[in-house]
């Protein structure tokens, strides 16, 4: 019997891939994997345990010990609801730092693949198409200019009542882009066969519709 279909959506930080991926999953009735949340959980847990982001071996030992669960849109770490706590800029930067280590990435492979269940999965991250689901039926590289992404992040934070500086956000996301793209293991790349979706001038609805159209063509 064939495996459930996967739509892999990769892209840089704040490209809107999380929003697009979860809406595509909703429309198709598919499961959804936010793989970035897993790296954010490792970042939070390592901070709580006082483990340095450069200590690859201790981080590798920490990951299998974490009790991670997803309930609807809530995320739990060792029983505590950390849905909000993992979304801060500092945890995002820390996630990018712990994600460079092969020890951490390897420890998360099986967990990510366990999300592949019928009727299908939409997975978003940096290496969904290249490493985790290389046989994905549709591979999308979703991106936008750094300026457009910084502005989106800025608006999200302000809407939540969190103060932010556009310039700082732009610098942070450029630092994360550089680290995510230049690391030795599973760097952010446009996977072979991936379709590039430039969203700087697209609405969320337009981006979702494009992915759904591509999926229909892929299964036709």
Asked if 172 interacts with ligand DC (CB under 6 A), we say no
Dihedral angle over CA of 196, 199, 204, 207, nearest 10: -30
Asked if 99 interacts with ligand DC (CB under 6 A), we say yes
CB 11 within 8 A of CB 176: no
Name which position in 6, 30, 180, 215 contacts ligand DC (CB under 6 A). 180
Name which position in 8, 16, 31, 35 contacts ligand DC (CB under 6 A). 35
Which phi and psi angles does 55 have, rounded to 5°? Answer: -85, 80
| Contact stretch for ligand DC (CB under 6 A) within 34-42, 164-172, 198-206, 209-217 | 34-42
Locate all alpha helices (DSSP H) within the chain, ordered by sequence: 17-28, 35-49, 56-65, 89-98, 102-107, 109-113, 146-159, 166-182, 204-219
| Contact stretch for ligand DC (CB under 6 A) within 36-44, 48-56, 139-147, 155-163 | 36-44
Q: How far apart are CA 120 and CA 108, in angstroms?
A: 20
For residue 52 the two structure tokens come to 């340095």
CB 219 within 8 A of CB 5: yes
CB 129 within 8 A of CB 8: yes
CB 2 within 8 A of CB 134: no
Name which position in 8, 13, 16, 139 contacts ligand DC (CB under 6 A). 13
Asked if 127 interacts with ligand DC (CB under 6 A), we say yes
Asked if 31 interacts with ligand DC (CB under 6 A), we say no
CB 13 to ligand DC: min, Å: 4
Residue appearing with tokens 């951490």 = 104
CB 19 to ligand DC: min, Å: 11
30 vs 39 by CB, closer to ligand DC = 39
CB 56 to ligand DC: min, Å: 14
Asked if 101 interacts with ligand DC (CB under 6 A), we say no
5 vs 92 by CB, closer to ligand DC = 92
CB 182 to ligand DC: min, Å: 12
CB 109 within 8 A of CB 39: no
Name which position in 63, 176, 191, 199 contacts ligand DC (CB under 6 A). 176
CA atoms within 13 A on the CB side of 23: 15
Name which position in 40, 101, 139, 153 contacts ligand DC (CB under 6 A). 40
**Which positions lie near ligand DC, rule CB under 6 A?**
13, 35-36, 39-40, 92, 95-96, 99, 125-127, 176, 180
């Amino acid at each position: 019997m064939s495996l459930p279909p996967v739509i892999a959506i990769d892209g840089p930080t704040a490209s809107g891939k999380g929003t697009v991926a979860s809406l595509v999953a909703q429309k198709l009735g598919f499961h959804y994997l936010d793989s970035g949340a897993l790296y954010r959980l490792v970042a939070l847990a390592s901070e709580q345990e006082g483990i340095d982001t450069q200590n690859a071996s201790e981080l590798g030992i920490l990951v299998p010990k974490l009790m991670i669960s997803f309930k609807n849109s809530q995320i739990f770490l060792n029983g505590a609801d950390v849905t909000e706590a993992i979304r801060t800029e500092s945890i995002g930067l820390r996630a990018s730092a712990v994600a460079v280590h092969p020890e951490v990435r390897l420890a998360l492979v099986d967990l990510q693949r366990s999300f592949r269940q019928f009727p299908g999965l939409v997975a978003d991250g940096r290496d969904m198409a290249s490493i985790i689901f290389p046989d994905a039926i549709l591979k999308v590289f979703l991106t936008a200019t750094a300026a457009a992404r910084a502005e989106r992040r800025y608006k999200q934070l302000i809407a939540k009542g969190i103060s932010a500086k556009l310039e700082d956000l732009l610098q942070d996301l450029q630092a994360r882009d550089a680290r995510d793209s230049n690391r030795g293991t599973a760097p952010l790349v446009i996977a072979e066969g991936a379709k590039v979706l430039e969203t700087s001038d697209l609405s969320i609805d337009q981006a979702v519709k494009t992915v759904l159209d591509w999926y229909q063509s892929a299964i036709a």
